[in-house]
Structure 1
Amino acid sequence: MGAIEDRLKHLNIDLPAAAAPIANYVPCVISGSWLIVSGQLAFGPDGKLDPGHTGKIGAGVSAEAGRAAARRCAINILAQAKAALGDLDRIRRCVRLGGFINVAPGYSQIPPIMNGASDLIVEVLGDAGRHARSTVGVAELPLDSAVEVEALFEIAP
C-alpha cells in the first residue's frame, strides 16, 4: 500500500468502485504526464446519488449538504484516478479542479461549497493537493446532482 492509500485509510476513506460513464465519454484520459478526470457526481458507495445531494443549493439543499456532495465528488475523482493509474502514488500534483454547483437563482455563496472537494484533495495529497480552481454556479446538472467536479493531475510515468 502506498503513501496516498495509507493517508486515505488514516482518514477512514474507502474508495468506491469507479463509476461508469452515464453518456458517451470516458471517465479518464491519460496524455503524456497528465491525467484528466471527467466530471464526477456525488455518487455514494452504493453507486447512487444520496437524496440529500440532489437538487439546488439555496432551494432545498443546504450549504453543508453541498459541501458534503463536493467532498463525495472528490472521493469519486480519486476512485477514477486509482482505476486509471493502478497506484495513486503516481499522482505528483493536483493541478486543477473544476466545480459546477447546481444553485437556485441568486445564490452566490458558491466557493465555500467547492471547498468540500478542495479540502479533501489537500487532506489526501498534502501540498501536492494544492491546486488552481474554477467554480461555477449552474442551472442544472446531470441526474439533478447538486455538485459535479472534474480534475487535472500531473502524474509520474
Structure 2
Amino acid sequence: MGQSLSGFPLDGFDYDSILGQCCEMPVGGCKAIHLSGGATSILLKDGMTRAPVVRFSTAKRAAELKLYLEDPDNFETLVVIFKSCKSSRFARLQDIKCAIAGKNLYLRFTCSTGDAMGMNMVSKGVQNVLDFLQTYFPDMDVIGISGNF
C-alpha cells in the first residue's frame, strides 16, 4: 500500500517485444501486487464450462433427457464418452447441470482441463456427448454449443 506505479511500462511500451510471452508484463502483474504488500487468494472451484442448448418437440421429451442426464449410472457412461474424443489426455467431465425452459433444455458441462485453459478440448468432448445422446434422443435438435445457461 502506498507504493507508486511510476516506472511501470504503460505508455510507449513496445508490445511486440512481449508478443507470445507473459501478458502481465505491461502492467507489472505480480510485481505490482508484491510491491503493494501482497495478496491472498483461494481457489473455490476449478472447471471449464460449455453450455449447449437443445430443443425437443415437447417439454416432456426435454424432461426425459434431463432425467437421463441426472441418473448417476448414465453420467458414468457420459464420462467415458466425453473422454473418448481423444482431444486431450487431460480433459475430464466433472458435472452436468440441466434447466428446462419449455421445450428447451439448457445444459452446463463442467470439466477439468489440467493446466490448459481447455475450451477447445471441452467443446470437442461436449460435442462427442451430444452426438452420443442423439442415438437415444434422435429428435433432439442441438440449437447451439454455447447457449448461455
Q: Same fold (TM over 0.5)?
A: no
Q: Which has the higher contact order (CA 8 A, sep 6+)?
A: 1
Q: Which has the higher strand share?
A: 1
Max Rg structure: 2
- Normalising by structure 2, we get a TM-score of 0.28
